[in-house]
Amino acid sequence: MSTKQLQKPLFDFSSIQLILPGFILCCVIAAAASFVSNQYGGPKFLYALLIGISFHFLVDNPKCVKGIEICAKKLVRVGVALLGVRIAISDISDLGLLGVVALAGGVVLTISFSMLLSRILKLPYMLGLLAGGATGICGISAAMAVSSTLPQNEDNEKYTLLTAIGVAAFSTAAMVLYPLIVGTFNLSVSEAGLFLGGSIHDVAQVVGAGYIISPEVGDAATLAKMFRVAMLMPVIMFLVVALRSEREKFDGKEGKRQPLIPFFLVMFAVFIIINQFGFIPEAAVTQISQLSSWCLVISIAALGVKTSFEKLIGLGWKPIALLFSNTIFIALYMLTMVYLSRVINA
């Protein structure tokens, strides 16, 4: 054995030292955002974004940059994969055929509407996909998942952050306003659950809006929302295949084929199947769901650190108009489906 081999350390700590400062920074921001959310209410994702933006001056710090990059691009995939434990295929039967068709149609039509409107407004297709996916599926989690299928460049990060901020703001507003709509139109428990779960973007806001009305509406809204979360799988699968060549081109890996199905998406499906057969104890499901949430909050904090308000302001009013229009579109669509179900069941 050579002297060099004898002197070689068992563990190379240099790579850990490069990652650790930025990783700790993002974790601290995520912890602060969660604390503020728990103490004073409001979406922790939005807090993580805003606090992260205030630390933008560290994005070029050589001690932090590696850890921030890993949190922003890698950790999000772990969080999305772990989302699978929250979904059980057997729950779909409780929604009924019309509920399933209405919710699945809402996802497809909202993304299509967003893509069409982004073209009319002359916005990039990436923003149309991100805004449509976030509004149609499950808010910031969906925005992060869709972002992982797009070419990984500076524009993608900028649009992802803008989508996350906008969808968090509109989702919070919907949590407060939509229960008033339920009362105004005198919706039943099942109708209110379908409307709230099918139109509000983020899971936390759906739960909040539902339980403001009653525990029964809260349960119904959560079930409808989890079906929309389950729609994340086929949508991401489609985008992975459709954008594969363009992603390779932007990533500078033309000629080197990327896997048809990313590993994080495979794990997402595996967790759904395992949960369907009840192999994961309820306590473990809760813990894994919390871990998934932490991964996503840390990732969104890292994305906040990487982006400045100046860049967001430079995008103008059109992205906000896009997100607002998507929010109105899916709300009107779900109200239409609710009244259609009332006519059919009459």
Residues 6+ apart with CB under 8 A from 214: 189
Tokens of 260: 């048809």
Between helix 189-199 and helix 96-120 the angle, nearest 10°, is 30
Question: Residue 314: which H helix or E strand, with range?
Answer: none
pLDDT of residue 254: 46
* pLDDT digits 0-9 by tens, 158-171: 888 888 888 877 88
Q: How far is CA 206 from the centre of its chain?
A: 14
Report how far residue 94's alpha carbon sits from residue 90's, in angstroms, rounded to the nearest whole number.
8
Residues 6+ apart with CB under 8 A from 193: 210, 217, 219, 220, 221, 222, 223, 224
Residue appearing with tokens 């428990």: 189
Q: How far is CA 257 from the centre of its chain?
A: 26
pLDDT of residue 135: 92
Report how far residue 84's alpha carbon sits from residue 268's, in angstroms, rounded to the nearest whole number.
5
Would you write out the chain's pLDDT as a tens digit for each of its 346 residues? Answer: 454 444 555 445 567 778 888 999 999 999 999 999 889 877 787 788 788 888 988 877 888 888 988 887 788 778 877 877 776 666 666 778 888 899 999 999 999 999 999 999 999 888 999 999 999 988 887 888 888 788 767 777 788 888 888 887 788 788 888 989 998 999 988 899 999 999 998 877 787 788 788 878 887 888 888 888 888 888 888 888 777 766 666 555 544 454 555 677 678 778 878 877 778 888 888 898 889 888 888 988 887 887 666 666 666 788 889 999 999 999 999 999 999 988 887 6
Angle, alpha carbons 163-167-168 (nearest 5°): 115
First and final CA of the chain: distance in angstroms? 84
pLDDT of residue 256: 47
pLDDT of residue 11: 47
User: Is the entire prediction scored with pTM above 0.75?
Assistant: no
Domain limits, the chain? 75-345
| Helix %, strand %, coil % of the chain (to 5) | 80, 0, 20
134: left (phi over 0), alpha (psi -120 to 50) or beta: alpha
- Name the DSSP class of 257: P
How distant, in Å, are the alpha carbons of 101, 177, 309, 312, 314 from that of 331? Answer: 16, 11, 29, 26, 29
pLDDT of residue 311: 62
